Amino acid sequence: MHLNLDQLLPLLYQKGINLGTKLAAVILLWIVGRFIIGWVKRAMDSSLRARQVDGTLITYADNTVGVLLNIALVAALLGFLGVETTTFAGLLAGAGLAIGTAWSGLLANFAAGAFLIVLKPFKKGDFVTAGGVTGTVREVGLFVTTIDTPDNVRTGVGNSKVFAETIHNFTANPYRRVERTAQLAHGADHKQAISLLKAKLATIPNVLAEPAPDVVLLDFTLAGPVLAVRPYTHNDNYWQVYFDTNEAIRQELGAAGFAIPETHHHVGR
């Protein structure tokens, strides 16, 4: 079938009108769709904040919902233009699989971060051991938990490593126990030493009265009996109480005349 110029021009004109109308409709639908997506995200954000949901979790939810809604909008617009959306869905699934394989580590960190936010094994400011790192939590990010170590080194640990390993939260409970020992010489009156140390520990700043410090007979060595010296304090004061307890053991027992056990070195013939 051959069309002459008089027939071709009206046909092209009609095709152009149809195409222009569709493009205008697509642009309008895109604007309206983006407005609706923004409104949904703002409404969800306000609802989550009203429920005092953690800010990082809100970011997770906002990003996830935004991506899903934008994909749905693009698929709807392609369908409106007559593009076969099943093919688009197949391409999208294939791309998602490829990206998921390439970024498996990042996605694992992302998923673990979401669980850390929901389950809350620790929060910003807690002193923890997580992922093999001990220090103060500065941020639980999308992919990495940031920890400041006691020697003031900022360290990032992948969330998947944090979530997979044992987490020690030293701040979660109202107090923790300081573990020290006092070595006595043979013949020392351990009951007197226990009484002296209990009285002294009670005077150390930030040592709790309840539970009261423990000073008990722990063990026996070749040098003599060993006392367990265990005051309790809040984690913020742990190292101050630790060092003050060492000082108290040394000074109190020395002032009371307790002999320092000698270490004997045997030289072979």
User: Could you state, in order of their start, the residue ranges of all structural domains in the chain?
Assistant: 9-102, 121-169, 176-255
What's the pTM value of the predicted model, to 2 decimals? 0.62
Beta partners for residue 54, in sequence order:
none
Third-level CATH fold of 176-255: Alpha-Beta Plaits (3.30.70)
Q: Is-contact 224 184, C-beta < 8 A?
A: yes
- Which architecture, in CATH terms, is 9-102? Orthogonal Bundle (1.10)
Query: Residue 43: which residues within 8 A CB-CB, separation 6 or more?
Result: none
Q: Provide the residue-wise pLDDT of the chain in tens; the chain has 269 residues.
A: 555 555 556 666 666 677 777 778 778 888 888 888 888 888 888 887 887 766 666 776 777 778 778 878 887 777 777 666 666 666 666 666 655 555 566 778 878 888 888 888 999 899 999 999 999 999 888 789 999 999 999 999 999 999 999 999 999 999 999 999 999 998 899 999 999 999 999 999 999 999 999 999 999 999 899 999 999 999 999 999 999 999 999 999 988 888 766 544 433 33
State which CATH number among 3.60.21.10, 3.40.30.10, 2.30.30.60, 3.20.20.70 fits the domain covering 121-169: 2.30.30.60
Query: Angle, nearest 10°, between helix axes 238-255 and 190-201?
Result: 140
Secondary structure (3-state) at 9: helix
CB 212 within 8 A of CB 199: no
Tokens of 20: 């222009």
Question: How far is 72 from 84, CA to CA, in rounded Å?
Answer: 14
Contacts of 260 (CB under 8 A, 6+ apart): 185, 254
One fold for 9-102 and 176-255: no
